[in-house]
A and B are shown apart, each in its own frame.
Chain A
Amino acid sequence: MSKIYSIICILLLGACSKPADLVIYCSLDQDLSEQIIRDFEEQHDIDINVQFDVERNKTVGLVSRIIAEAKNPQADVFWNNEIAHTIRLKSLGLTTPYAPATAEGIPAIFIDADNHYTGFAARARVIMYRTDIEVNYPKHLNDFLNSEYAENGVMAQPLTGTTLSNFAYLIQQSSTAEVVQWFDDVKSAGLGFSAGNADAMRRVCAGDYDWCFTDTDDAAKAVANGYAVDIHYLDQGIGKSGAMLIPNSICLIDGAQQNEMAKKFIDYVVSAESELRLANSTSAQIPLHRGITMPDGIQLPNRDYPVLDIPWAAVAAELDGAASTFQELFVR
């Protein structure tokens, strides 16, 4: 019996903990962001409570949690791996302005005019194709409609993540009806669909398809795992040519105005040094600071390939509607 009591005592002792100096909600993949956060923790000798998100199960995740916790905010900083949901938080009044000094050099299009968020370290929407065989892959989004390309390709269902943001943008640029028609047409042309970008990438690595429409970080992971693949920056422009770049974004949560450590953390993450760390990681995130020396294998936006100017606030406003439309279209 005494053994049982000892176990219970150990469990109860383990249950006690002191509050953290800084609470970070982070939706960037854990194995990319964790070390960056822990290094900051060590440098400043503070205790950081970091909460991660998971995309795999299509959970509502940290954005919904911030909304649900609005009356008594727990997070100081939200590091989002995309930008549209951060804008949603701003529109709900859940963020507060902070302009990090280290953001100097990042193009203004990635920084909120009211300084509620800062974009950095981006991913591009690309075609990843096999290089061990001759592959005829699409160069423009409209090429998906051609069965010659479509039959050998796969993309994620636009239910979540960057694919949802991508097609919310297309809805914003054209209309819901046109995008729905586009999906009907690409389905008829023989395009395959997967649950997520990583799944699409895996199926190309497995040889089920010749190419997939995915993000640069997924493609970089396939290369790191030793698969014979390469990428092409897909032109998605309507009128003007360009690939889609989706940056990470970081914001100060309303209520954390007095937390100086939160501001220091934002400075630290947005800095060119952190961007370079992310660029040199297995996900090969694209640095946005001008004049930064690009690591080998990463191409420079607007120099090596054209990039679209995305009206992110308008795209964010389309997200919920787009999600419902695609749910009806794909969840069958």
Chain B
Amino acid sequence: MITIKSPWLWLLAIVSLLCAWLPLMPSIVAFFDFPQWLGTLDSRLLLLLWRSIWMSSAAAIGALILGWPLGLFLGRYRFPLRSTYLLFLPLSLMLPPLMVAQAWHGLTGMNGVWASVFSFACCYAPLPALLVIRSLSKQSSASYDAARMVSGGLGLRLLISHTRSAAFVGAAFCFIFSIGDFAVPDYFATVGDLFHVYSSEVFSNSRNSDFTAGAVSSLPLIIISLAMLLGLLPWLKNQQQHTSQQCAQPHTVKHSMSLSMFCLGVTTVLVFAIIGRMYFETGMRGPLATSSWLQTSSKAFADAFSLGRSDMIRTFQFASIGALICMVVAPLWAFVFHYSSGLKRNLLFVILVMPMLVPSLSLGFGSIVVFNQPYLDVFYNSIWLPAMLIAGRFMPIAVLICINAFGSQAAAVDNSAKLHGLSIGQRVYALFVRNNWRACLLGGALVFVFAMRELDFAILLPAANQSTAVRYYNALHFSRDNFVAAFGLSICFILFLPVMLHSWLSKNSS
């Protein structure tokens, strides 16, 4: 039982209030206009909403179809090139969804509603895959080996049952991110038949001087996403049944080549095809151009490096601080969830996820309203503000991963620590984080990646304006397609470099 006297709970409350709830307050106030807004609901808005729901659901199913088997195979079996696929898997998360859309349109000429669904599925398929792999790393060796000995089918059923909560969490995130995104549908609408989604309406309303109209019209999306996440909570709790200190290891199978080919196919769809097309676009030019492909491409990369260098450094700074805050606070949140139940647990969950579900434009304007005060000028102009907002907005991602990991920690260990008089801090940081540092790191890394892609409040907050997202979208608007492709690839490469180095060094050291 956690008491209100615990200083750790106070820390959690203060960080959540500062990072998430203060900037959210103006939007919350706007929500009281919801009954009045409901009066404006007409068939046009309902059609937009319905289209958004089914498209995001289809994208989530697509992400599940691509990501779940990929995660299962990579997490449980050994086969040729497995480590290469594992290495490249997170890369597609680092690609802006709009770039994925442009690449696939360039490759296939696809357009319309289903092209949007496909792009979203490709963008977010790594989420279920990564969460499934992480979940498999905690699977009980004894139960899995016993099931395999009985029959291969039983082993597979156990794998599916063990990983389904992780896979559904990943798919739910795909749904939430897809339903709030309008750049991708907007793009596919312009290259084919025109159509719109509900988030276009939210953004159009936010464009008026009164941002509260955007906040209130986003409520249907918030409610839908919230219901989806609340529905996931029992799944996360269910994960606790499958725990063991002896974890199952990846093993070889008969049809290893087939598995490798399957993973190659999916990784090509998620990563290689997109990277290849982007690289081609760095040198793309019109028929009357006098420079060669190589010259155009080289210039694009040179521009990307010289113009975008300082933006990258600045973005790294506030994204890293945001991710670090999440890595420190998320385990505490997970601990609080672990020891709460029923209504209290659901309320805490609403408090946690609300900042992620509100459009980031509303959060950005909320920050201006709350923090743009004469006595806070230094703070308002510092990178602490975007770092805090990033932590507040993307904290739920890190927390859900930690909740999932917390379930896999043997209850006896924590109970024993409690009986020995260890404080909450010691139990969370000395026991849980030490045993689950990979989960904390994955949470922090995902927060970092989403922070790098955040555009809307980057435009609104002084210290975040000089960021990679602003430069990227600015160049995109100005049709600097070569630069956009080169800059996007450079960002991916730099983000990906530590992953590659880590993988290479671990191989050498082993």
Q: A68-B211, A205-B286 are in contact. Are A331 and B200 (CB under 8 A)?
A: yes
A16 within 8 A of B: yes
A53 at the interface (CB under 8 A from B): yes
Chain B residues near A53 (CB, 8 Å)? 459, 474
CA distance A331 to B52 in the complex (A): 13
Q: How far is the CA of A52 from the CA of B458 in the complex (A)?
A: 10
Interface residues on A, range: 35 or more
B430 to chain A, nearest CB (A): 13
| A69 close to chain B: CB less than 8 A | yes
Q: Is B477 on the interface with A (CB-CB < 8 A)?
A: yes
Question: Are A320's CB and B307's CB within 8 A?
Answer: no
Q: Which residue of A lies closest to B209 (CB)?
A: A67
With a 10 A CB-CB cut-off, give which of A32, A61, A64 has the most chain B CB atoms.
A64
Answer whether A55 and B382 are a contact pair too, CB < 8 Å, given A68-B365, A199-B190: no
Given A11-B317, A54-B455, residue A226 in contact with residue B382 (CB < 8 A): no
Chain B contact residues, majority secondary structure: helix
Contact call A60/B361, Cβ cutoff below 8 A:
yes
> Does B134 lie at the interface of the complex (its beta carbon under 8 Å from any beta carbon of A)?
no
The 8 Å CB contact of A193, one of B47, B194, B203, is: B194
CB <8 Å contact, B288 and A228? yes
Stretch at the interface among A143-151, A217-225, A302-310: A217-225
Contacting residue for B383 out of A15, A30, A159, CB 8 A? A15
Binds A, one of B151-159, B251-259, B368-376: B368-376
Closest to A20 in B: B381
Distance in angstroms from A27 CB to nearest chain B CB is 10
Q: Assuming A59-B361, A69-B372, A228-B287, is B200 touching A31 (CB within 8 A)? A: no
Mark each residue of chain A from 67 to 79: 1 if its CB lies under 8 Å from any CB of chain B, else 0. 1110110100000
Contacts of B471 in A (CB 8 A): 30, 52
Residue of A nearest to B189 (CB): A195
In whole angstroms, what is the CA distance A203 to B200 when docked? 22
Q: What B residues does A55 contact at CB under 8 A?
A: 477
Chain B residues lying within 8 Å of A239, measured Cβ to Cβ, are none
Q: Which of B200, B208, B285, B382 contacts A16 (CB 8 A)?
A: B382
Instruction: Tell whether A195 pairs with B186 under 8 Å between CB atoms, given A19-B377, A30-B471.
Output: yes
Q: Is the CB of B204 within 8 A of A51?
A: no
Does chain B have a CB within 8 A of A57? yes
Within 8 A of A (CB), among B95-139: none
Tell whether B479 is near chain A: CB-to-CB under 8 Å: yes
A196:B477 contact, CB within 8 angstroms: yes
Per-residue CB contact flags for chain B residues 449-478 toward chain A (1 = under 8 Å, else 0) read 000000110011010011000110111111
Name A208's closest neighbour in chain B (CB-CB): B191
Q: Are A65 and B460 in contact (CB under 8 A)?
A: yes
B324 interfacial by beta-carbon distance below 8 Å: yes
Residue-by-residue, is B43-86 near A (CB-CB < 8 Å gives 1, otherwise 0)?
01001100000000000000000000000000000000000000
A16-B382, A64-B207, A65-B460 known; A30 vs B475 contact (CB < 8 Å): yes
- For A324, list chain B residues within 8 Å (CB): 208
Closest to B321 in A: A11
Q: A56 with B324: in contact, given A16-B382, A29-B477 (CB under 8 Å)?
A: no
A residues adjacent to B (C-beta < 8 A)? 7-8, 11-12, 14-17, 19, 23, 29-32, 34, 49-65, 67-69, 71-72, 74, 88, 132, 157, 159-160, 193-196, 198-199, 201-203, 205, 208, 218, 221-222, 225-228, 283, 320, 323-324, 327-328, 330-332
Closest 10 CB pairs of A and B: A226-B289, A226-B286, A227-B286, A56-B477, A195-B190, A194-B190, A226-B288, A54-B473, A51-B465, A30-B474
Supplied contacts A34-B307, A193-B194, 7 more A-B pairs, CB within 8 Å: A15-B321, A57-B182, A62-B459, A195-B189, A226-B290, A332-B48, A332-B195
